[in-house]
């Protein structure tokens, strides 16, 4: 496997966002990014809770295990624009797909939000490690890869190793390519893997 191109990586240098053999893709960097370890969330199906990356327990309204992953639906607490989140964990694709519900009067910021992650599953316990990169999917526009600087900083500070960074980049590039090949439709892209996501109305 080709190695990641780090160049003279330094804070704010987004050049690592290219993997040999992959096309340039639309992306946006976070100019206010600060170095931090990968964020970890726990999804405890048996206990009916989601432990967020700050260690706070959130009561889950619905968990549903699928052949391809895990569905979660819960209230969002103390968020300025959203009141509910639904997520699917898709281990084989290395992504978490979320759909937010917006408070009355708040414009939708996106249709779907894709986190680039690794997912470990042991019985009723799911552990998700977030590797910084996200893809914003909105109808009528091309998906956008964001938070490249967070990955750059983490690699520069030794918070992740080059293999982890390369895996995150390859996963994000594969997702962006899959979306492009399917008319930027997330549903159409996932159907190529036999995956259909259902978002219960609330």
What are residue 39's phi and psi, to 5 degrees? -85, 140
Question: Can you give the three-state secondary structure of 4-18, one letter per residue?
Answer: CCCCCCCCCCHHHHC
pLDDT tens string 99-155: 988 777 766 777 999 999 999 999 999 999 999 999 999 987 899 999 999 999 999
**Domain chopping of the chain, boundaries:** 14-191
For residue 182, CA distances in Å to 76, 142, 143, 175 come to 31, 11, 12, 11
43: tokens are 């999804």
Predicted TM-score (pTM) of this structure: 0.82
Measured from the Cβ of residue 189, the count of other Cβ atoms closer than 10 Å reads 22
Region of 70 on the Ramachandran plot (φ > 0 left; ψ -120 to 50 alpha; else beta): beta
pLDDT band of residue 24 (cuts 50, 70, 90) is very low
In CATH, the architecture of 14-191 is Beta Barrel (2.40)
In this prediction, residue 32 has a pLDDT band, given cuts at 50, 70 and 90, of low
């Amino acid at each position: 496997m080709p190695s990641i191109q780090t160049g003279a990586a330094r804070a704010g240098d987004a050049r690592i966002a290219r993997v040999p053999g992959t096309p340039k893709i639309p992306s946006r960097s976070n100019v206010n990014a600060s170095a931090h370890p990968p964020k970890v969330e726990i999804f405890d199906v048996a206990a009916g809770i989601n432990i967020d990356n700050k260690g706070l327990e959130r009561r889950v309204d619905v968990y549903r295990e699928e052949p391809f992953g895990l569905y979660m639906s819960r209230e969002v607490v103390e968020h300025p624009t959203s009141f509910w989140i639904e997520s699917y964990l898709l281990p084989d694709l290395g992504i978490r797909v979320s759909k937010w519900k917006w408070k009355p009067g708040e414009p939708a910021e996106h249709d779907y939000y894709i986190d680039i992650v690794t997912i470990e599953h042991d019985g009723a316990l799911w552990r998700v490690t977030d590797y910084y990169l996200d893809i914003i999917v909105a109808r009528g526009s091309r998906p956008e890869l964001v938070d490249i600087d967070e990955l750059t900083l983490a690699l520069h500070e030794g918070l992740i190793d080059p293999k982890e960074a390369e895996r995150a980049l390859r996963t994000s590039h594969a997702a962006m390519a899959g979306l492009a090949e399917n008319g930027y439709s997330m549903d159409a892209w996932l159907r190529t893997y036999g995956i259909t996501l259902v978002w219960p109305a609330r």
